[in-house]
Structure 1
Amino acid sequence: MSKPERPQSEPAQILLVEDNPGDVPLTREAFKQGRIENDLHVVSDGIEALAFLTQQGEYADAPRPDLILLDLNLPGKDGEEVLEELKDDPVLRSIPVIVLTSSRAEEDVVTSYELHANAYLTKPVDPDEFIETVRAFEKFWFSVVRLPPEVDN
């Protein structure tokens, strides 16, 4: 029998990169209602996201996320720039990235997958549907998918 990657007593580390203050509490609520113990870390722009991921400045003690939820429309560096830098970094590229955005533009979908996003989800406008969407991918990513173990630098 194989050993799980993360002991069940350890919460999943999730980084939410989201500049819309209304979507943050909805996401927190969805994860709270879910069955997976998690620590949700939130940053509001692309520059902060990269600082968190590379443990720079105030994020020197930030944990390595098990999963990143990335909005595309961000101030500073946009989500596509963050995704590109993340996937170019040999230490960080194995972290799964789910693009969670309000954009339904086909070019955004195509570009996100070209930049190696693991999934692209369009945020539902209805709050209950939004929560259901978050819960569905939480269940999939933490109950069905086997995530990569952390790689030592």
Structure 2
Amino acid sequence: MKRLNILFIDDDEVERMKFSRVCRKSNFKPIVVAAKNGEDALTKLENPISDLIFLDLNMPKMNGLEFLKILKSHDTLKYIPIVILSSSDNHQDLKACYELGIAGYMIKPLRLEDYTKSITTMLEYWSYNELIS
């Protein structure tokens, strides 16, 4: 099992705190770097290179789709798995994200127990994934 370096991108401070808390309480103890939008995230990608990115779609300055397009056009960063974690259940958003090469799309669960279970399941999957070395 690998200890993941995760970049979590969401403009909502409560969401950033909730995600970090769920990660800290999990058995996987990933290192979480938080960014408040796509622009902020681009400055935090290099040190160290993230193993996994959780990305919100609806953000100011640079939204999730804009960030995704930039990342997927980069020669080395385009291989980082990206999981969309959004409140949007818009089918067009879903389709656009998969066309750009995301690894998964999750609607943010409203109940904390459901949110914790979903995030923990993702952490478990990616901690054991052979693509991440």
TM-score by length of 1: 0.81
Amino acid aligned to 1:42 = A
Show the counterpart of 1:138: 123
Normalized per residue, the structure richer in helix is 2
**What's the RMSD between the two structures over aligned residues?**
1.4
Tell me what 2:67 maps to. 82
Q: What residue is the counterpart of 1:70 in the other structure?
A: 55
Alpha carbons 2:10, 2:55 under 8 Å: kept: yes
Question: 1:110-149 maps to which residues of 2 (within 5 A)?
Answer: 110-143=95-128, 145-149=129-133
Identity of paired residues, percent? 27
Residue number among 42, 45, 59 corresponding to 1:50 in the alignment? 42
CA contact (8 A) 2:83 2:102 kept: yes
Max Rg structure: 1
Structure 1, unaligned runs of 5 or more: 56-61
CA offsets 1:88-116 (integer angstroms, 9 cap, x no match): 10110111000111101111110100111
- 2:4 counterpart of 1:12: yes
Preserved contact between residue 45 and residue 77 of structure 1 (Cα < 8 Å): yes
Instruction: Measure how far apart 1:146 and its partner are.
Output: 1.4
CA 1:125/1:19 → structure 2, altered by over 3 Å: closer, same or farther? same
What corresponds to 1:25 in structure 2? 17
The 8 Å contact of residues 54 and 83 in structure 2, kept in 1 or not, is answered as: yes
Instruction: Report deviation, 1:37.
Output: 2.9
Whole-Å separation in 1 of the counterparts to 2:132 and 2:118: 23
Count of residues in correspondence between the two structures: 133
| Alpha-carbon distance, 1:38 to partner | 1.5
Find runs of 4+ consecutive structure 1 residues off by over 6 angstroms.
none
Q: In the TM superposition, what is the alpha-carbon distance from 1:86 to its structure 2 partner? A: 0.5
TM-score under structure 2 normalisation? 0.93
Amino acid across the alignment from 1:50: L
Amino acid at match of 1:82: F
SS of corresponding position for 1:69: strand
Pair 1:100 & 2:85 matched: yes
Q: How many Å separate the matches in 2 of 1:38 and 1:148?
A: 13
Contact 2:7 2:53 in 1 (8 A): yes
Q: Residue 65 of structure 2: SS of its match in structure 1?
A: helix
